[in-house]
Structure 1
Amino acid sequence: MSLPLISRAPADGRRLRRLPLGALFVSPYALFLLVVFAVPLGYTVWMSFHRFYFTAPGTEVDAPWVGLRNYQDVFTDPVVQRSFYNIAVFLVINVPLTVVLSLVLASALNSKLPLRSFFRAAYYLPYITASVALVAVWSYLFGTDGLVNHALGGLAPDPSWLVNSSLAMPVVAVFVTWKNLGFFVMLYLAALQSVPGELYESAAVDGAGRVRSFLTVTVPGVRPATTLVTVYAIITGSNLFSEPYLLTGGGGPDHASASPVLVLYQKGIEQAHPDFAAALGVVLVLFVVALSLVARRFTEKKEG
């Protein structure tokens, strides 16, 4: 009975001796998180409970405690309410499209296809292209006199896509899905490499076709990647800013495509209400965390 204890002791001793070296390697990243994330987040929470003003460097102004007043203003602001409704519409369109299209395309690109490398690069190219350039193309396509309206003729919506309060956010959602699709395809391609080929051979022996093999082998085999893709799409989608800012002229028409982050910028920077913006930021963080946890619960495979 004493032999396992004797053999375990040197290993435990070596593990303890490695701790200072591991801490040394981790410390730069830990410091980065502390300075770039933890400190600003803590300061934001502090601001959200005070009446805070921007001041010139070296100028001191009282920041009185207001309790939950800023949060009350956030929850009763109609523009904020509309922005959360908009982002809900965005996520309902963007997340399922992202998961389904990226998995289907990754499965196709993982098979032996002619020009496979070209197609992989083609799908990834929009992700690394500057958003301003892509927005210019989409504005040309979906503008009032754009190519899409000319192609549709009398079927074109009136008002047009990006100035239509019902269509502006769906167009933004489709644009973001298309732009980011290559990144998620690469995530799924990496996950597909870990799915054993023997499972597909067994499915083929059982008479499964491509669709059945996809549903019974591919989908369960990449479930961890699906969780990652879903959560990442929710996080990036909830922090939407540049696309509605550039595509619809700052969240128009009449805030129909405004996102919470865009409203945060408008309230905090343009209208000089940083305390209100801080409270909105805290609410958005809690919203994203809660939504991500729910998505993870529904996408992860339960052990046992």
Structure 2
Amino acid sequence: MSLPLISRRPGAAGTTGAAPAPAPAAGGARRGTRSLGALFVSPYALFLLVVFAVPLGYTVWMSFHRFYFTAPGTDVDAPWVGLGNYRDVFTDPVVLRSFLNIGVFLVLNIPLTVVLSLVLASALNSRLPMRSFFRAAYYLPYVTASVALVAVWGYLFGTDGLLNQTLGGLAPDPSWLVNSTLAMPVVAVFVTWKNLGFFVMLYLAALQSVPRELYEAVSVDGAGRVRTFLTVTVPGVRHATTLVTVLAIIKGCNLFTEPYLLTGGGGPDHASASPVLILYQKGIEQAHPDFAAALGVVLVLFVVTLSLIARRFTEKKEG
């Protein structure tokens, strides 16, 4: 006796084959990953909010009021003054001189930082004898206390310092750190030398991502070291150059320790004063925190503007 045929089509009535299980939803997995990422990021986000966002907001509020430092528990009115503090900032000749000083500093510091750190990183990335020693030697000044380094540079560039004794009659008069023309350039060279190791490290990390095939290709074409550096290395670390430039701008605009210690508080006659140094003198030493708050807000906007301009000029649109 013949048996009736049973349909084997998936999903047909009476079939004995089980339908395939539905694939898990990808959206749920992505939501879970995002939730886990938000959980890990939240402590740092809270840290940024407490340490940076809240003080910045309070600074902006202070800049629009007549504010005074008072003893704990003392209630003193802080009347609204609008743009009065900003008007005082933009009409203060010392503040304007400090921004001019920073301009001189950045014109010297940024090209020196970018060129020297990239050249040194390229050299240290090659097969160089005692390469580890040189890498540590260039990084050592960055992790050394600024006070100790300033003492050494004060000895070198002082009126009776080693450099003037070496130059003899060719030494500038007045000397380097008390010369209104040379004080800021000396500070710029000092800061460049001190921070060079940090930027060399950034470029060394970026050089690891440049494909070796590019170097081999230009070598086959007969390119020399200079041409290889300009056509392969420089474009290959373009994003690192943007980072180095922006960080150099931020560090330069926040200059404080070096002019405070190296030139005796921004001398001579405010020739090496920086906005942060003026902010400290006005807000802490002269008890004008509202003026200092307005100067701080102006400085933040100044740094953001310069950073955006630097990014525009160092980053090129990709194909």
Q: Same fold (TM over 0.5)?
A: yes
Structure-2 residue corresponding to 1:58 = 73
Take 2:39 and 2:284, find their aligned partners in 1: how far apart are those partners?
A: 39
Q: 2:106 aligns with which of 91, 111, 116?
A: 91
Structure-1 residue corresponding to 2:173 = 158
Take 1:111 and 1:16, find their aligned partners in 2: how far apart are those partners?
A: 45
Structure-1 residue corresponding to 2:140 = 125
Tell me which amino acid in the other structure corresponds to 1:203.
Answer: V
Asked if residue 210 in structure 1 is aligned to residue 231 in structure 2, the reply is: no
Q: 1:237 aligns with which of 247, 252, 266?
A: 252
- Structure 1 residue 12, shift from structure 2 partner: 1.1
Q: 1:274 aligns with which of 278, 289, 292?
A: 289
Asked if residue 177 in structure 1 is aligned to residue 161 in structure 2, the reply is: no
Structure-2 residue corresponding to 1:190 = 205
- Structure 1 residue 19, shift from structure 2 partner: 3.0
Tell me which amino acid in the other structure corresponds to 1:116.
Answer: R
- Structure 1 residue 17, shift from structure 2 partner: 2.1
Take 1:190 and 1:218, find their aligned partners in 2: how far apart are those partners?
A: 13
Higher-helix-fraction structure:
1
Take 1:250 and 1:227, find their aligned partners in 2: how far apart are those partners?
A: 31
Structure-1 residue corresponding to 2:182 = 167
SS in 1 for 2:222: coil
- Structure 1 residue 177, shift from structure 2 partner: 0.1
Take 2:299 and 2:22, find their aligned partners in 1: how far apart are those partners?
A: 51
Take 1:121 and 1:50, find their aligned partners in 2: how far apart are those partners?
A: 49
Asked if residue 30 in structure 1 is aligned to residue 45 in structure 2, the reply is: yes
Take 1:17 and 1:303, find their aligned partners in 2: how far apart are those partners?
A: 33
Take 2:115 and 2:75, find their aligned partners in 1: how far apart are those partners?
A: 53
TM-score scaled by length of structure 1: 0.97
Q: Structure 1: any 5+ residue segments left out of the alignment?
A: 1-5
Percent of aligned pairs sharing the same letter = 86
Aligned residues: 299
Once structures 1 and 2 are overlaid, which stretch shifts more, 12-21 or 193-202? 12-21
Once structures 1 and 2 are overlaid, which stretch shifts more, 221-230 or 16-25? 16-25
If you compute each CA radius of gyration, which structure gives the higher value, 1 or 2?
2
Take 2:25 and 2:261, find their aligned partners in 1: how far apart are those partners?
A: 61
Structure-2 residue corresponding to 1:291 = 306
Tell me which amino acid in the other structure corresponds to 1:268.
Answer: G
Report the RMSD for the aligned CA atoms in angstroms: 1.2
Q: Structure 2: any 5+ residue segments left out of the alignment?
A: 1-20
TM-score scaled by length of structure 2: 0.92
- Structure 1 residue 300, shift from structure 2 partner: 0.8
Q: 2:236 aligns with which of 214, 221, 231?
A: 221
